[in-house]
Structure 1
């Protein structure tokens, strides 16, 4: 809905002309997000949450080579772009208030991931990452490129670990 030539140009220009800044922000953000996720995983484990339905579906698709390729395209490329446009970019653009957009987009991202399986007990496994991406979106002056790149790299790392095990 909000993807336009102007937005595509902004993403492309950020990646092209601010590559060093994107790399630095990505490395620092991933280190911080990792720590935040450890904290939220501790909470998730403390409440006795089981593996999420979303995670189980992802792992089942890894049984064939076509499943691995399809999962890579979906989880590493398509999902980060579409989720960042739908949660961070669109909601922030629709919200008049930055912090209202922050909370709505953060919880909408979590809802997208827990709604299908009804596994609300896994809310904390997504909440830390979502809050981090929303904060990054604010600090990057609402440039979706940064949250997209970090989301993509996070999913790439997760995908690589899953395939390797």
Structure 2
């Protein structure tokens, strides 16, 4: 009797534990993610060095030796910022060219590099176009910032469209909504709570704000700046653009490029967790040298990267988690 009872308990526990895994495996068989498509020690190493290591080291040197962040705060067009941007875009461009020459038909790789160049090119085009019409306006700066945000939104939408045109990826998202409603909702809630505890409360509030006396990040200031206009039309357009970018467009685009593409390019799912997490953080603070917010952004990136690994490359979980987190953060920002 004791033997029968001791065997039935683990069996019941295993059955409950396998509920989520069974649903996950069904979709993985139909829409598998290629974690080992690239070799970590060839293409993966090229990507990590040119995409993260070189830009990170350059930004760190410029911050320590030449006060990159302080120079940006005083003058947005400082030589430190331009040099840092040149290294960032140049290094990634070099990596893109090398990887393209090694495999010209590698579509998943392109999303990462499209994310680096598409939004900034669209933003610059919009800024030039709008500035030519409103160069003498008293709201010139605010209009330029809005046009830059509009260009970024269009650039990221283009990436999303290209991604969803891939039937395997759009099919996997649709299948997840259809077959995994309960695990999807449950895991999204759990991860959001984890992100708020680790990233928002511990890293941002307790360590950065209270212990280090660090103020609002440059990235957050840029997003909030569109809500500070005295012009009603600019305020309304800025509010709509901010919601569209932070809640709808950016979460999906960033997960495509910083999770899906990074894991594919790295060639090792465990190394990719750290590459993805640190790159996500660097994108939000690196160009301005705002290293004081490294912990909060990187911790959020690491959690999202682990989630992508845990769900075997199912971007649906990351997309909804990222979007929900941004919605809550936006509500808190607006109401406060």
Q: Structure 1 residue aligned with 2:222, among 49, 57, 66?
A: 57
Shift of 1:132: 0.7
Distance 2:268 2:324 in 1: 29
In the alignment, is residue 162 of structure 1 matched against residue 325 of structure 2? Answer: no
**3-state SS of 2:224 partner:** helix
In the alignment, is residue 40 of structure 1 matched against residue 203 of structure 2? Answer: yes
Distance 2:197 2:176 in 1: 26
Match in the other structure for 2:279: 108
TM-score relative to the length of structure 2: 0.47
In the alignment, is residue 10 of structure 1 matched against residue 172 of structure 2? Answer: yes
**3-state SS of 1:44 partner:** helix
Structure 1 portions without partners, runs of 5+: none
Match in the other structure for 1:143: 314
Distance 1:92 1:58 in 2: 28
In the alignment, is residue 88 of structure 1 matched against residue 259 of structure 2? Answer: yes
1:125-136 → structure 2 map (5 Å cutoff): 125-136=296-307
Distance 1:116 1:74 in 2: 20
Question: 2:282·2:298 contact (CA, 8 Å) conserved in 1?
Answer: no
Distance 2:287 2:216 in 1: 14
Higher relative contact order (CA 8 A, sep 6+): 1
RMSD of aligned residue pairs (Cα, Å):
1.4
Distance 2:177 2:331 in 1: 23
Question: 2:219·2:284 contact (CA, 8 Å) conserved in 1?
Answer: yes
Question: 1:40·1:127 contact (CA, 8 Å) conserved in 2?
Answer: no
How many residues are paired up? 165
Structure 2 portions without partners, runs of 5+: 1-106, 109-162, 229-234
Shift of 1:154: 0.4
Q: Structure 2 residue aligned with 1:122, among 287, 290, 293?
A: 293
Question: 2:277·2:299 contact (CA, 8 Å) conserved in 1?
Answer: no
Distance 1:164 1:39 in 2: 22
Shift of 1:131: 1.0
Question: 1:50·1:122 contact (CA, 8 Å) conserved in 2?
Answer: no
Question: 1:11·1:144 contact (CA, 8 Å) conserved in 2?
Answer: yes
Runs of 4+ in 1 over 3 A off after TM superposition: none
